[in-house]
């Protein structure tokens, strides 16, 4: 073993869909491997069982304000703000999750199905009206995600464009002038949410903000800034990931045509196909960070108190002890739950909504455009491998008898 720790993240991929070779090499060493993050050494959790055990261990803290918390970027560490539930532990975390749980219950989310279906259909109408080729991310991935979020929050339809524009700006760090644009959009969205809360106080509707205002803000269980921060975090965490999964999931299906045919022709496969795409793509690629508040042992390895861990869903989801032939996309696979929404009490609060959105988005797309295909050769689809969220935001597609490459 070399004295120097391997640096993390490792981003160089040969095949866009497979984990970097250097990362798989670490997986073969141990379920826990020491790596060097920009902020210092930490344990990379490479195995499925270890990931589940450590993410559901109360001795592993999410509190980013703790000294030595592992992060992927050098940043000034500040105490975690009230309402920033993703970075809280125990009862403090549970308070916010309880507040949000009913909003993301299976029943509540299922009730949103007709509206999400309608949004998908309208967007597909628009795509067909304009004709091919089109970038599926802009025409479908982004707007399906943002309209679903608007519905959840109770943002009126006429404001959805404003919403989409600013949400998108938050996640486009590659464009010129990005930091200013991001700051401006953050301010615009926060201001909008603030106004929305005022509006819902006067004129409540059947939506999340109205209920949180009535049940939590008015009785004084939360303060206004907390409610605003919590709502904002839901937007920030939910929008880009879902939009990206719609687009990158479609890309994966188009590049595995026998899989696409199966999903299109056998709609009963949809639920499993969405799980498999979430596993296979593992778009939240670098991982979930925690810090040990006591010594925690897994197998014969120990994470000492004060040491950080970073759980790699990308590796856990490709653990060959759990998934046979882990590097193959198989929409018929029936397997154990993947780690793409995390595990433990911090399991993505929006997983129910994300799952139903993805099921609807793929189902509607493939039913409406059964001969959907790439408008450029597969090798020309650009994948973002160095961003927090892996995937493609540029997916030129065509339909209506055109063949791949014809309209490129």
Partner 1 sequence: MSPAAEPGRLLRVDHAACCRSGACSLVAPDLFDQGDDGKVLLKTARPPAHLWEAAEEAADYCPVSAIELETLPE
Q: Would you give the binding string for partner 1 spanning residues 38-57, x where CB under 8 A is met?
A: -----------------xx-
CB of 46 to partner 1, least distance (A): 20
Please report which residue ranges of 203-323 form alpha helices under DSSP H.
Answer: 208-212, 224-255, 257-265, 270-281, 313-316
DSSP percent split of the chain into helix, strand, coil, nearest 5 = 50, 10, 40
Pick the closest to residue 311 from 68, 121, 51 (CA basis): 51
CB of 400 to partner 1, least distance (A): 36
Q: Would you give the binding string for partner 1 spanning residues 104-133, x where CB under 8 A is met?
A: xxxx--------------------------
The count of residues interacting with partner 1 (CB under 8 A) is 22
**φ and ψ at residue 398, rounded to 5 degrees:** -140, 170
Q: Using alpha carbons, list the distances in angstroms from residue 205 to 23, 196, 395.
A: 48, 11, 37
- Cis, bond preceding 44 (omega within 30 deg of 0): no
Q: Using alpha carbons, list the distances in angstroms from residue 361 to 40, 66, 247, 271, 368.
A: 41, 40, 10, 12, 11
CB of 54 to partner 1, least distance (A): 13
Question: Which of 6-14, 154-162, 262-270, 350-358 is the region at the interface with partner 1 (rule: CB under 8 A)?
Answer: 350-358
Near partner 1 in 65-94, by CB under 8 A: 94
The span from the first CA to the last CA of the chain, in angstroms, equals: 48
- In the bound state with partner 1, the residue whose beta carbon lies nearer, of 351 and 368, is 351
Q: Is 389 in the site for partner 1 (CB under 8 A)?
A: no
CB of 57 to partner 1, least distance (A): 11
Q: Would you give the binding string for partner 1 spanning residues 253-292, x where CB under 8 A is met?
A: ----------------------------------------
CB of 221 to partner 1, least distance (A): 13
The full length of the chain comes to 408
- Which residues bind to partner 1, rule: CB under 8 A? 55-56, 94, 97-98, 101-102, 104-107, 336-337, 342-345, 347, 349, 351-352, 355
């Amino acid at each position: 073993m070399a004295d120097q720790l391997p640096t993390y993240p490792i981003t160089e991929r040969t095949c866009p869909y497979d984990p970097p070779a250097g990362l798989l090499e670490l997986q073969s060493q141990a379920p826990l491997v020491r790596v060097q993050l920009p902020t210092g050494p930490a344990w990379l959790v490479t195995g499925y069982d270890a990931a589940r055990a450590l993410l559901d261990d109360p001795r592993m803290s999410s509190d980013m304000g703790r000294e030595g918390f592992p992060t992927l970027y050098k940043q000034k560490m500040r105490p975690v703000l009230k309402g920033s539930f993703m970075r809280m532990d125990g009862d403090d975390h549970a308070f916010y999750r309880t507040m949000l749980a009913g909003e993301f219950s299976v029943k509540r989310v299922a009730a949103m199905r007709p509206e999400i279906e309608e949004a998908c259909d309208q967007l597909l109408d628009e795509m067909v009206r304009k004709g091919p080729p089109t970038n599926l991310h802009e025409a479908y991935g982004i707007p399906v995600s943002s309209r679903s979020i608007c519905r959840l929050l109770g943002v009126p339809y006429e404001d959805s464009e404003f919403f989409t524009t600013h949400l998108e700006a938050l996640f486009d760090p590659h464009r010129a002038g990005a930091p200013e644009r991001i700051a401006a959009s953050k301010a615009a969205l926060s201001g909008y949410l603030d106004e929305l809360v005022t509006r819902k106080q006067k004129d409540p509707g059947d939506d999340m903000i109205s209920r949180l205002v009535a049940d939590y803000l008015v009785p004084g269980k939360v303060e206004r800034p907390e409610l605003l921060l919590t709502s904002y975090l839901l937007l920030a965490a939910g929008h880009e990931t879902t939009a990206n999964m719609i687009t990158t999931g479609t890309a994966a299906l188009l590049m595995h045509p026998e899989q696409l045919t199966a999903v299109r022709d056998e709609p009963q496969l949809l639920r499993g196909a969405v799980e498999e795409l979430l596993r296979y793509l593992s778009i939240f690629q670098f991982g979930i960070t925690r810090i040990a508040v006591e010594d925690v042992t897994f197998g014969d390895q120990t994470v000492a108190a004060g040491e950080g861990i970073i759980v790699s869903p990308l590796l856990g989801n490709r653990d060959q002890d759990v998934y046979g032939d882990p590097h193959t996309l198989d929409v018929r696979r029936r397997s154990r739950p993947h780690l793409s929404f995390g595990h433990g009490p911090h399991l993505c609060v929006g997983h129910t909504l994300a799952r139903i959105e993805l099921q609807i988005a793929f189902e509607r797309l493939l039913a409406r455009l059964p001969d959907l295909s790439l408008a450029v050769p597969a090798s020309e689809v650009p994948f973002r491998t160095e961003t927090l969220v892996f995937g493609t935001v540029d997916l030129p597609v065509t339909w209506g008898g055109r063949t791949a490459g014809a309209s490129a």
